Structure 1
Amino acid sequence: MLAAMIHSFILSFGLILPLGVQNIFVFNQGAIQPRFSKALPAIFTAAICDTLLISMSILGVSVMVFEYTPIKLALYSGGIFFLIFMGFVTWKSKSKQADSVTDVKLSAKKQITFALSVSLLNPHALLDTAGVIGTSSMHYDGASKLAFGFTSILVSWLWFNGLGIAGRLTGKMDPSGNFLNLLNKASALVMWTTAIYLCILLFKQI
């Protein structure tokens, strides 16, 4: 069981670490919200989505879903259009002091909506979860498989809370918002790059 937990921790951490749309969104909300508690909708939604995806992967549901080409094509198309749109919104965003009203300081409802979108409309992330987490979990059964899944989910919850805290600390150290403005530009570029990559994958599916 311990071996399964260590395996899951290393694997999950390696998957969640790279800079991506979901990570950037959670970090940004932590940085621009006036209090850490205000960023919890984004943090919790991202963590819950990961919990759902990991659970589906371990149960083998996501692998079966991705076997249907129409579903894959719909996910790729939706993800591409969403990332392009979000990229323009993020590029135009202006971050000022944390107490100011900014374009990207979202309400709880909008945080949940955007977090759901960046978590569930990224086919590349879904395929990674299904292909890597799901496939790796097949090496275990019983209590070991349960421990593998629990550890992977725990990593996600700790990671997103840590990102929110890191964003909050960054926001305090950057009252002018200059760093966050640069981060918004970098975020937009990451989104557009991801959209281009998804376009390439989509054409391969057609």
Structure 2
Amino acid sequence: MILDLGAGLLTGLSLIVAIGAQNAFVLRQGLLRRHVGAVVAVCAVSDLVLILAGVAGIGTLVERAPLALEVVRWLGVAFLTAYGVRSLLAARSSSALRTTGAASAALGSTVATAAALTWLNPHVYLDTVLLLGSIASAHGPEGRWWFAAGACAASVLWFAGLGYGARLASGLFARPRAWQVLDVVIGVVMLLIAVSLALR
């Protein structure tokens, strides 16, 4: 039980800690202190649903639906490209950093963006559903659910820590130049992920 739980925790963290579009968005919202709870909840709950689906065996259905994954892939490419370009354009203006984009977005728009960054990423189906699901199955009928519990805990801890822990760096982001750099980094990350998806 403890070993299965620990394995799930470590595996879950290893898959979500890498810098990606979703993490960059959570970090930005945490720094802005705008709708952090809602963004963390959307990302964590989405992960929990995907993890549990993978452990329950839904991964086999995903594997047999290449057309659906292809549609999601190109929607993801379009969305990430648009978001990346928007971040790069926002970086051009230091005076409007706190009033454009994510800073002034309404709750509904922010939640929709967080959901899109999660569900329009085909890697989430391959990593979270297929990979985690297959690793969990190696832990046996009961152990796989303890593994799932560990992976779910990793997701909640990571997104909560990233979203609410970002405020510790708020002193650094008191300067407009820091926001410009962050917007450039986020824009480049989004565009690189879009290119990697397009070239798959």
Do Structure 1 and Structure 2 share a fold, with TM-score over 0.5? yes
Contact between 2:9 and 2:152, CA under 8 Å: does it hold in 1?
A: no
1:96 Cα offset (Å): 6.3
* Separation of aligned partners in 2, 1:68 and 1:100: 42
**2:62 aligned partner, one-letter code:** V
Match of 2:57 in 1: 60
**1:10 aligned partner, one-letter code:** L
Contact between 1:90 and 1:104, CA under 8 Å: does it hold in 2?
A: no
1:100 Cα offset (Å): 4.7
Match of 1:48 in 2: 45
- Please say if 1:11 is aligned against 2:11: yes
* Separation of aligned partners in 1, 2:23 and 2:60: 24
Q: Deviations over 1:43-75 (max 9, x none)?
A: 111111111111111111133123112112111
Q: 1:63 to 1:91 in 2, by over 3 A?
A: farther
1:130 Cα offset (Å): 2.2
Q: 1:62 to 1:107 in 2, by over 3 A?
A: farther
Contact between 2:90 and 2:183, CA under 8 Å: does it hold in 1?
A: yes
Aligned sequence identity (%): 23
- Alignment partner of 1:84 out of 77, 81, 85: 81
1:178-197 correspondence runs (5 A): 178-197=177-196
1:161 Cα offset (Å): 0.8
**1:186 aligned partner, one-letter code:** V
Q: 1:63 to 1:186 in 2, by over 3 A?
A: farther
**1:47 aligned partner, one-letter code:** A
**2:191 aligned partner, one-letter code:** W
Structure 1: 5+ residue runs without aligned partners?
Answer: 202-206
- Please say if 1:148 is aligned against 2:153: no
